[in-house]
Structure 1
Amino acid sequence: MVREHSQVRAAIKSARTVVVKIGSSALTSLEGGLDTDRLDRLADAVEARMRAGSDVVVVSSGAIGAGIAPLGLSKRPTDLATKQAAASVGQLALAHAWGTSFARYGRTVGQVLLSADDFTRREHHRNAQRTLDRLRSLGAIAVVNENDTVATEEIRFGDNDRLAALVAHLVGADALFLLSDVAGLYDGDPRKGAANFIPEVRGSADLDGVIAGSGGALGTGGMASKLSAARLAADAGIAVLLASAEQATEALGEGEVGTAFAASPDRLPGRKFWVRHAAGSRGSVLLDAGAVAAVAARRSLLAAGIVGVEGRFFGGDVVDLIAPNKEVIARGVIEYDSTDLTTMLGRSTTDLPESMQRPVIHADDLVSVH
């Protein structure tokens, strides 16, 4: 489906560093497991993009789906232990298939399994970044997936769409391709009746009235997760193309298919992006109205405006900032342990010991969540 060429699509077409996320439904089926013919066609499209001059990182779903058939399961498992068992079988098959497919072009594949902890912990985050950068500098293609064999429900990304957006930021990508079983974004579910196709999203106003659904039988994503991932990537200054995996050649070529999302002109600095999107919150700080106004004005948070503390955290952790109406308005890197902070509540800076006169959260470490 050809779209009118635009500045957004031109940026996607010319992007030098790109991340290509491929959904489970594009690689596997309940009946046959991993479909190597489809995987080969996707590898062909990636290879063509690389030969055109782009540096490509692949985020591949499908480990659990690839393990369903070999284990004799009739449907995607719902309990954690069986999911992990299926992933342990499927991950091996998936990595081998990608390696075999790219070997046709003389390319080496490196498998990178990441957990949510690799993004929430700053040091892990840097290690993952170094690994991906080194693989690329050595000429290998990084194929990334969530480490489903050890992830628990509490520490999962939730879907590989979010993982792909975080990886795109991690490697400094210029564009993110989300390829699955949908042709793009609609304002409703086209399978359930009339729905209008949305060819381009330049801002939040273009999403008014959009109703996004959840995932299918083989995946955990769905349009809601793709839309969330696209907005997350755009927040990082990364353009996004949401398209069908069946149109991978067109998507990675001219880019005139699917729905294009414009990158935000105000790209968040790396540290603030990490605080907003990647880091796990370790607790909450409750604010009064004056502190809410100060945070909204991008000023540092002082103890005088804090009325309560929830959870146990330590200096250097990321915490949520809660307004009087219980809404999370911002996140930030806290300077003090929760035990120390409870002794500082509502006190002016001059009334505190010299060791506690630093801002509770410096303005440089504060970021709104909206």
Structure 2
Amino acid sequence: MPEEFLARSFRRIVVKLGTGILTDAEGGVDRARISSICREVDDARKAGVDVCVVSSGAVGLGMKHLGFSRRPTDLPTLQSCAAVGQSILTQTWQECMDPFGHKVAQILLTREDLRGRRRHVAVKDTMERLFALGVVPIVNENDCLSTEEIRFGDNDVLSALVSSLIKADLLFILSTAPGLLNLDTGELQPVIRSITPEIEAMARGTNSPTAVGGMVTKIRAARIANRSGCGVIIGSGTNPKLLRRFSGTDVSGTLFLPGEETLTSRKRWLAFFDRPTGWIQIDAGATEAVCEKGTSLLASGVTSCGGKFEEGSVIEIRDEDDHTFAHGVIAYSPEELNQVSGRRSEELRELLPDRKQYEVVHRNELVLLDEVPHFQSESESETEST
């Protein structure tokens, strides 16, 4: 399976580079490393592969330029470091691409840019046109403006969202880590076919003064990319031939294989891009019907709701144990939902005869997340009883 996947002809790849790869020991720009990466990008472009670079480093470079030795903790100073460092970062990428004749485009994103469908599509269309023009997009979080992303965001997850957005075939998440290690044995895990709780337990955070995240966010990113049909390689960015690994001839690091079933564009947006601010809780019967039988969510199964939402909002769907297992577009306002919760469809037709949709969340507007409740099938019950 790994060999079959890596033997594919990849059309588009995303390369995410951590701060530790792009900066030297003093915190300045490592131009030699960036030039080496640009050479690899050039090789990929000559092979007909579109390349998008997700580049960390703005905050770290700003810290260096402004004289900070440790990552500031107050938001205005972090934003100032990002604002100063971003211009240095983009200029360096263009200067290092110049010998190869490639133009770069700076794209600064926040979650809000990918959350709304209109802006989401606009970003996607811009990226597609840049590829058509032969331009290499350099993507980063817009840390100088976004309060939420600079506190909790990370470019690992951003790179996975970008990979999903542009339908990339392979995502490289490159940092100083060689890949996913078994913390008990120290052994590198070469191939991951499924991200299980045991795999997640191998992750840990980072102690870097300039970085955020760590292996925890890299595995989270791999989960998002894999469900979008994109393979992921987590490895060291110090390999001078790092992008040649997509040819399947020199794979190092950890390869996360995508699943056979991938989400449609609409359901990828529901699952990953929008951040719900409201939620509904449903009973066990409704949870089983949605998860096991693939039904729409009916009002009869709704037990409570909360947060902020309106008709047409993306909301979290929670089970009786308060576990969020799905996202969906809700067809009712909170006031309407409180009126219809627990009622059967026949009652709703009498109560609200003019409505076009009686389902609370239609199946076409609902996506199951990775960890869904497991319900015992009749065959499993029979096996256990015998």
TM-score, shorter chain, exceeding 0.5: yes
- The code of the aligned residue for 1:8 comes to F
**1:69-80 equivalences in 2 (<5 Å):** 69-80=64-75
2 CA distance for matches of 1:169 and 1:248?
27
1:34 aligns with 2:41: no
1:67 aligns with 2:62: yes
DSSP 3-state at the match of 1:90: helix
1:8 aligns with 2:5: yes
1:93-128 Cα deviation digits (max 9, x unpaired) = 000000111111111111000001112211111111
2 CA distance for matches of 1:350 and 1:39?
64
The TM-score, its normalising length taken from structure 2, stands at 0.89
Structure 1 counterpart of 2:228, from 233, 236, 249: 236
1:158 aligns with 2:139: no
1:195-250 Cα deviation digits (max 9, x unpaired) = 11111112235954842111222211211111111121111111111111111514
Instruction: Indicate the residue corresponding to 1:211 in structure 2.
Output: 202
DSSP 3-state at the match of 2:239: helix
2 CA distance for matches of 1:219 and 1:205?
26
1:253-296 Cα deviation digits (max 9, x unpaired) = 43421111111110111111111111111201111122112211
* Deviation of 1:329 (Å): 2.0
Question: What are structure 1's unaligned runs of at least 5 residues?
Answer: none
Q: Is the 8 A contact 1:17 1:55 kept in 2?
A: yes
Q: Structure 1 residues 205 and 346 mapped into 2: Cα distance closer, same or farther (>3 Å)?
A: closer
Deviates more, 1:55-64 or 1:241-250: 241-250
Instruction: Indicate the residue corresponding to 1:274 in structure 2.
Output: 269
* Deviation of 1:312 (Å): 2.2
Q: Is the 8 A contact 2:143 2:150 kept in 1?
A: no
2 CA distance for matches of 1:186 and 1:359?
46
Instruction: Indicate the residue corresponding to 1:198 in structure 2.
Output: 189
1:306 aligns with 2:289: no
Q: Is the 8 A contact 2:21 2:237 kept in 1?
A: yes
* Deviation of 1:350 (Å): 2.1
Give me the CA root mean square deviation: 2.0
2 CA distance for matches of 1:61 and 1:252?
21
Q: Is the 8 A contact 1:30 1:65 kept in 2?
A: no
* Deviation of 1:9 (Å): 2.9
- The code of the aligned residue for 1:172 comes to K
Instruction: Indicate the residue corresponding to 1:49 in structure 2.
Output: 44
1:313-355 Cα deviation digits (max 9, x unpaired) = 1122111111111111211111122222111111122222123
Which 4+ runs in 1 deviate beyond 4 A? 154-157, 205-210
- The code of the aligned residue for 2:3 comes to S
Q: Once the two structures are aligned, what percentage of the paired residues are identical?
A: 37
Instruction: Indicate the residue corresponding to 2:364 in structure 1.
Output: 364
Deviates more, 1:174-183 or 1:145-154: 145-154
Question: What are structure 2's unaligned runs of at least 5 residues?
Answer: 371-386
DSSP 3-state at the match of 2:281: strand
1 CA distance for matches of 2:225 and 2:74?
31
* Deviation of 1:8 (Å): 3.0
- The code of the aligned residue for 1:170 comes to L
* Deviation of 1:194 (Å): 4.1
**Number of residue-to-residue matches in the alignment:** 361
DSSP 3-state at the match of 2:340: coil
Instruction: Indicate the residue corresponding to 1:137 in structure 2.
Output: 132
Q: Is the 8 A contact 2:111 2:149 kept in 1?
A: no
**1:225-264 equivalences in 2 (<5 Å):** 225-253=217-245, 254-264=249-259
- The code of the aligned residue for 2:354 comes to S
1:61-106 Cα deviation digits (max 9, x unpaired) = 1100111111011112222111100000000000000011111111
